[in-house]
Amino acid sequence: MEQATTSPAQAGGEDTPEEDVCARLTFEVHYFDDEARHLRQVACESGEVLSVQRVPMTNSFMERARQARHPERTWFVLVDPEGLRTRYLTNRQLRELQARYQVELVGRDPVDDVLIYQLHSDGF
């Protein structure tokens, strides 16, 4: 589950030139393989990993991840292009990530109807 945290002004879509979305943004990066699924909460501006979760892989999660076309053995983020669901990144937040990280569109999750972006970084 993608969780993006921002201020109320950012959630409302207000754009002020002096506002740095990345300064207050934390985002979740996903990864899974045959053994486990990993979730890291990362501070956008510093790249600091704030929390790490590792859960043993189950057959049901593996099946769901494959149905959703999530890439295996790849760090990725999920983006709601409409910006309606707060558990996913918005396009605006994605642009902030793209300014600081190498991010590549790798597909669309047909289950949750969100975009999947691979995050290229040595820090993960």
The 10s digit of each residue's pLDDT in 70-104 is 999 999 999 999 989 988 999 999 999 998 899 99
pTM for this predicted structure = 0.80
Structure tokens at 61: 């999660």
Taking the CA atoms of residue 62, residue 66, residue 70 and residue 73 in that order, the dihedral angle to the nearest 10 degrees is 60
> Which residues have CB under 8 Å from 51's CB, separation 6+?
40, 41
pLDDT in the model for residue 10: 43
In a domain, 12, yes or no: yes
pLDDT tens figures, 12-29: 444 444 467 788 889 999
Domain count along the chain: 1
In a domain, 2, yes or no: no
Domain membership of residue 56 as a residue range: 8-120
pLDDT in the model for residue 3: 53
- How does DSSP classify residue 35? S
As beta bridge partners, residue 16 has none
Q: Is residue 123 pLDDT above 90, yes or no? A: no
Geometric angle at alpha carbon 42, from 2 and 20, rounded to 5°:
95
In a domain, 3, yes or no: no
pLDDT in the model for residue 4: 55
